[in-house]
């Protein structure tokens, strides 16, 4: 073997036999030559590759060969250079460029030392690695493609997920996704994706990507950097990545997206062809299966549609003279086979349509004339023939001509047409024989022009359609009623329907009262088309009604214009008539009064007394007068002076009562208010004097207690016990003195000028006067500390007066409710709040609230919901005026459990506080 053969054999990693000595010459211009001593130290380097080695021990002439090598290469160099003869050495050296330098060589004797001749095999190793990577890539693509193609359609999403995971794990890709066009083909969306356990969430299923991928070149894989291409941030977010297209006959049909992946660094052995191969392995079978799925769905929908519509295709071949029908159509017709002869097909056609169908088929066969025909088919299951619409076209020429078409079941349409024709005939007969005149007016240029009158117009008025055309209809309307007729037309066009009554003159000039009822028909755009209506002659009924109306009008004027309340009712107090003043008092319309029981507004005692009074009426003494008390809506209590007159039958039984009444409420309340005001004035004088009288003995008691405490402090009796007792008495005496003193101050007249004060102080004064009394009556007080201090201008005693009125009203309502509900737990809540401009004081209770109809009148003077003799109706009215005078507002509304009164006072500016 010559030197060249030996060198080639070494490069091919072939071992030389022991009988073949290695005496190859040194090739100083190729590779790397290392001159070694017997111990393996490098004495000299030569060759072009020596400049790539990392210099070991600068300034030293010799260094061990092992220091030039990567650690794993030292395993092949055990011993001394003499032991390495006859071996092919693959060594990896440290390189200045970074990646190791892969060299292959041999050792031979050289004078007193040894020569290590090495050649660069990095390219050879790279090609071998790339070939191995391509083989693995092709194997992986084949496995993915086969799994996606062989799996069932139901498992396709699961199988695709597994294969994406397989690709991601094999290639170490953190996030991997398949993007397909949406159903409209307008943009891309994520069909499915895989993400490693620790990978960031880049996509979601069915995420729309828009048209960002369309801007990429669809021929080669694209390396994507979101930072460099902001418009692609929807694809990868902040990550870099890799996009691989898949093309078919229609262009780019899919993309394989890799996020958080640098292909050049992490898969350097894969080229563009390998990535396209992997993308095709995923996308091609996926698209194939999806298109197959869509095709199956379309076939299923087509079959369902054909079955629902009773339709299907048919085809006639010239060569076989047979008709082939769609399976659903054959089943609908009750045929045993899908392919039958033409004569058999004609036998199912109704005899009346058979010849016409045969003629049209012949014309289609000979001349290619399109077939469009409606025929009846007879089936064994249907007693009536089925109507079908046949359409067909001719395909091909000569002997290869085929007749193809479809059949559509139109039996429902034909039956509806026949029913409509029968109904139309019946309607024509009905119109002709009806006593009313039926008409049609066409909408033309903003006006309604008559286009049809039924035959009953002639015997009724003596006119015909020609006499009413061209705007002459209005000439036959009575001149006094023409404005009414024009208003009827405007209302019909405006509202779509109308009912009017006016007079029309017949041919002899006699006036006929007609009841006109019409309806306007519109098109799909809402524009008027025509009006359909009828005239009914109501002359006799109208004249009779006018006579009755004239006689009743005089009686109605007498009753309705009367300021008194006039009504009729049965003995059980059920109203049969009531005039407008009565309806106004009862807050309803006059026509709503019949059937209403008058006793609904009376208490049980009042109702019983009222019925007893009616029972005392007799034919000899039919009249009775009394003052009755009612609870009217919005009034609570009303007093009427009521006069009744009984109407009796021949046997003396009371049939009906005619009554006249007048409102006496204001007079009665004025009397009550005068009495109550006198009582309140007396009570005010007594309360002020009582406060003065009680405060003096309280002061004497307090001084006596102080003297006792002083004496006890010098004695040796049970000082602790007596001291504790006397301290408690002293505290209670001081408290009583404060309350009495506050009552005395409160009883004074308010100062003329307004002064700044803190509104929560008024709450404290109110509670000082009322808290013990409320607790004694079992009413819980819920007080919330204000927690703030602001100044408003006004009168603190007057604000206390308002709060006292509100609390006392709430107390009375709660105690009244507890009388009927023994387990009722009453409470009153008082609290304050403020913002930058307003202070709000709230007084609320759980008494159930105020009748909504009374809320608007609650602040009226003398208005009260309390029983007679209890309330004056002045408290809330005066309170409203007090708050309004201080620049505030008093309001009320119903809360969740009861009434909520709110006092709003404006916060005084800083420049007014010191005044």
Q: Looking at residue 903, which CATH number applies to its domain?
A: 3.30.565.10
Q: Where is the domain boundary, 663, 681, 702?
A: 663
Identify whether the C-beta of residue 695 lies closer than 8 Å to the C-beta of residue 741.
yes
Residue 580's alpha-carbon distances to 494, 548, 601, 778, 882, in angstroms, are: 33, 21, 17, 47, 38
Question: What values do phi and psi take at 182, rounded to 5?
Answer: -70, 175
Burial class (CB in 10 A: 0-12, 13-18, 19+), 401: middle
Task: Give exposure, 189-218, as e/b (b: 16+ Cβ within 10 Å).
Answer: bbbbbbbeeebeebbeeebebeebbeebee
What span, in angstroms and rounded, lies between the C-alpha atoms of 445 and 430? 32
Q: Do 373 and 480 share a domain, yes or no?
A: no
Identify whether the C-beta of residue 256 lies closer than 8 Å to the C-beta of residue 282.
yes
737 lies in a domain?
A: no
554 lies in a domain?
A: no
- What's the DSSP call for residue 219? S
Predicted pLDDT of residue 204: 82
Number of domains present in the structure of the chain: 7
740 lies in a domain?
A: no
Tokens representing residue 706 in the block: 């102080």
State the residue for tokens 């008559």. Answer: 450
Q: Do 611 and 677 share a domain, yes or no?
A: no
306 lies in a domain?
A: no
What span, in angstroms and rounded, lies between the C-alpha atoms of 95 and 101? 6
Identify whether the C-beta of residue 789 lies closer than 8 Å to the C-beta of residue 758.
yes
Tokens representing residue 773 in the block: 């009394």
Tokens representing residue 275 in the block: 């990535």
327 lies in a domain?
A: yes
Contacts of residues 824-828 at CB distance under 8 Å and 24 or more positions apart, as own/partner, are 825/780, 826/778, 826/779, 826/780, 827/779, 827/780, 827/781, 827/782, 828/774, 828/779, 828/780, 828/781, 828/782
C-alpha of 66 from chain center = 78
Q: Do 768 and 859 share a domain, yes or no?
A: yes
Q: Do 791 and 657 share a domain, yes or no?
A: no
What span, in angstroms and rounded, lies between the C-alpha atoms of 361 and 403? 9
Q: What secondary structure does DSSP assign to 829-860, as a single string?
A: EEEEEE-SSEEEEEEEE-S----GGGGGGTTS
Predicted pLDDT of residue 28: 53
Q: Do 286 and 213 share a domain, yes or no?
A: yes
Predicted pLDDT of residue 306: 66
Predicted pLDDT of residue 8: 36
Predicted pLDDT of residue 678: 37
Predicted pLDDT of residue 906: 93
What span, in angstroms and rounded, lies between the C-alpha atoms of 111 and 590? 141
Contacts of residues 764-770 at CB distance under 8 Å and 24 or more positions apart, as own/partner, are 765/796, 765/797, 765/800, 766/800, 766/803, 766/804, 766/807, 766/830, 767/830, 768/738, 768/739, 768/742, 769/739, 769/742, 769/743, 769/800, 769/804, 770/804, 770/807, 770/808, 770/811
Q: Do 101 and 134 share a domain, yes or no?
A: no
Task: Give exposure, 660-671, as e/b (b: 16+ Cβ within 10 Å).
Answer: bbebebeebbee
**Nearest residue to 536 (alpha-carbon basis) of 461, 611, 635:** 461
Q: Do 282 and 151 share a domain, yes or no?
A: yes
536 lies in a domain?
A: no
423 lies in a domain?
A: no
State the residue for tokens 């390495």. Answer: 84
Identify whether the C-beta of residue 164 lies closer than 8 Å to the C-beta of residue 282.
yes
Classify the phi-psi angles of 356: left when phi > 0, otherwise alpha if psi is within -120 to 50, otherwise beta. alpha
Predicted pLDDT of residue 694: 56
Q: Where is the domain boundary, 484, 508, 531?
A: 531
Q: Is the dihedral of CA 198, 200, 202, 206 positive or negative?
A: positive
Q: Do 293 and 410 share a domain, yes or no?
A: no
Identify whether the C-beta of residue 277 lies closer than 8 Å to the C-beta of residue 141.
yes
Residues of the chain with pLDDT under 50: 1-27, 226, 674-676, 678-683, 685-686, 688-690, 692-693, 696, 745-752, 868-869, 915
Q: What secondary structure does DSSP assign to 721-736, as a single string?
A: HHHHHHHHHHHHHHHH
Q: Specify the DSSP element, H or E, that contains 709.
A: helix 665-714
The CATH number given to whatever domain includes residue 205 is 3.30.450.40
Q: Where is the domain boundary, 663, 686, 711?
A: 663
Domain range for 32 is 3-120
550 lies in a domain?
A: no
Q: Do 781 and 901 share a domain, yes or no?
A: yes
Q: Do 689 and 642 share a domain, yes or no?
A: no
The CATH number given to whatever domain includes residue 325 is 3.30.450.20
Count of C-beta atoms within a 10 Å radius of residue 615: 10
Q: Do 567 and 499 share a domain, yes or no?
A: no
C-alpha of 51 from chain center = 76
Q: Do 148 and 213 share a domain, yes or no?
A: yes
Residues in the chain: 915
């Amino acid at each position: 073997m010559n030197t060249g053969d030996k060198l080639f054999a070494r490069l091919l990693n072939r071992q030389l036999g022991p009988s073949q000595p290695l005496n190859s010459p040194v090739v100083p211009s190729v590779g790397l030559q290392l001159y070694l001593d017997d111990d393996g130290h490098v004495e000299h380097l030569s060759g072009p590759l020596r400049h790539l080695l990392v210099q070991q021990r600068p300034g030293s002439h010799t260094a061990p060969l092992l220091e030039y090598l990567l650690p794993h290469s030292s395993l092949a160099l055990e011993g001394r250079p003499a032991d390495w003869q006859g071996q092919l050495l693959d060594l990896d050296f440290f390189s200045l460029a970074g990646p190791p330098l892969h060299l292959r060589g041999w050792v031979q004797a050289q004078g007193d030392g040894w020569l290590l001749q090495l050649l660069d095999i990095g390219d050879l190793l790279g090609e071998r690695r790339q070939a191995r990577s391509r083989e693995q890539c092709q194997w992986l693509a084949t496995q993915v493609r086969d799994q996606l193609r062989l799996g069932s359609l139901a498992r396709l999403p699961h199988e695709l997920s597994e294969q994406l995971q397989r690709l991601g794990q094999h290639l170490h890709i953190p996030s991997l996704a398949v993007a397909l066009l949406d159903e409209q083909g307008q943009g891309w969306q994520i069909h499915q994706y895989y993400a490693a356990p620790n990978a960031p969430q880049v996509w979601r299923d069915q995420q729309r990507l828009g048209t960002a991928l369309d801007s990429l070149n669809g021929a080669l894989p694209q390396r994507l950097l979101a930072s460099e291409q902001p418009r692609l941030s929807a694809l990868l977010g902040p990550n870099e990545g890799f996009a691989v297209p898949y093309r078919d006959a229609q262009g780019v049909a899919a993309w394989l997206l890799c996020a958080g992946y640098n292909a050049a660094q992490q898969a350097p052995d894969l080229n563009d062809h390998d990535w396209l191969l992997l993308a095709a392995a995923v996308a091609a079978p996926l698209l194939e299966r999806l298109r197959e799925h869509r095709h199956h769905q379309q076939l299923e929908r087509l079959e369902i549609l054909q079955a629902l519509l009773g339709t299907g295709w048919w085809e006639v071949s010239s060569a076989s003279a047979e008709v082939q029908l769609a399976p659903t159509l054959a089943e609908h017709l009750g045929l045993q086979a899908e392919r039958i002869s033409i004569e058999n097909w004609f036998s199912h056609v109704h005899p009346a349509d058979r010849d016409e169908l045969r003629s049209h088929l012949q014309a289609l066969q000979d001349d290619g004339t399109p077939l469009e025909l409606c025929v009846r088919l007879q089936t064994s299951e249907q007693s009536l023939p089925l109507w079908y619409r046949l359409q067909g076209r001719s395909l091909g020429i000569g002997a290869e001509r085929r007749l193809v078409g479809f059949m559509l079941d139109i039996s429902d349409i034909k039956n509806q047409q026949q029913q409509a024709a029968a109904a139309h005939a019946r309607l024509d007969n009905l119109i002709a024989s009806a006593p009313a005149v039926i008409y049609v007016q066409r909408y033309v240029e903003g006006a309604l022009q008559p286009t049809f009158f039924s035959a009953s117009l002639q015997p009724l008025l003596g006119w015909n359609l020609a006499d009413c055309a061209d705007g002459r209809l209005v000439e036959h309307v009575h001149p006094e009623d023409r404005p009414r007729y024009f208003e009827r037309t405007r209302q019909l066009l405006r509202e779509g329907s109308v009912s009017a009554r006016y007079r029309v003159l017949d041919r002899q000039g006699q006036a006929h009262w007609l009841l006109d009822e019409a309806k306007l028909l519109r098109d799909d755009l809402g524009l008027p088309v025509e009006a359909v209506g009828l005239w009914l002659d109501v002359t006799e009924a109208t004249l009779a009604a006018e006579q009755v109306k004239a006689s009743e009008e005089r009686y109605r004027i007498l009753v309705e214009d009367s300021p008194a309340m006039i009504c009729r009712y049965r003995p059980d107090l059920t109203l049969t008539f009531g005039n407008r003043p009565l309806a106004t008092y009862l807050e309803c319309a006059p026509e709503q009064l019949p059937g209403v029981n008058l006793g609904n507004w009376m208490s049980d005692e009042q109702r019983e007394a009222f019925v007893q009074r009616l029972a005392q009426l007799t034919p000899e003494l039919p009249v009775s007068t009394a003052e009755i008390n009612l609870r009217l809506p919005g009034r609570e209590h009303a007093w009427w002076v009521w006069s009744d007159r009984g109407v009796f039958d021949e046997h003396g039984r009371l049939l009906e009562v005619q009554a006249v009444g007048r409102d006496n409420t204001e007079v009665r309340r004025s009397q009550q208010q005068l009495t109550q005001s006198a009582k309140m004035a007396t009570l005010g004088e007594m309360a002020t004097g009582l406060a003065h009288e009680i405060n003096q003995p309280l002061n004497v008691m307090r001084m006596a207690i102080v003297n006792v405490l002083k004496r006890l402090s010098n004695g040796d009796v049970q000082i602790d016990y007596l001291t504790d007792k006397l301290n408690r008495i002293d505290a209670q005496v001081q408290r009583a003195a404060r309350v009495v003193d506050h009552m005395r101050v409160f009883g004074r007249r308010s100062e003329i000028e307004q002064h700044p004060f803190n509104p929560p102080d008024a709450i404290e004064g109110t509670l000082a006067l009322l808290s013990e009394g409320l607790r004694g009556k079992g009413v819980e007080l819920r007080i919330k500390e204000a927690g703030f201090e602001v100044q408003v201008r006004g009168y603190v005693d007057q604000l206390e007066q308002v709060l006292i009125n509100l609390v006392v009203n709430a107390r009375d309502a709660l105690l009244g409710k507890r009388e009927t509900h023994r387990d009722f737990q009453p409470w009153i809540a008082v609290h304050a709040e403020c913002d930058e401009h307003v202070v709000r004081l709230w007084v609320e209770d759980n008494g159930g609230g105020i009748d909504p109809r009374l809320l608007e009148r609650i602040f009226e003077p003398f208005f009260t919901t309390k029983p007679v003799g209890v309330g004056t109706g002045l408290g809330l009215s005066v309170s409203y005026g007090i708050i309004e005078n201080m620049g505030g507002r008093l309001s009320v509304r119903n809360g969740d459990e009861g009434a909520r009164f709110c006092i709003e006072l404006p916060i005084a500016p800083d420049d007014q506080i010191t005044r």
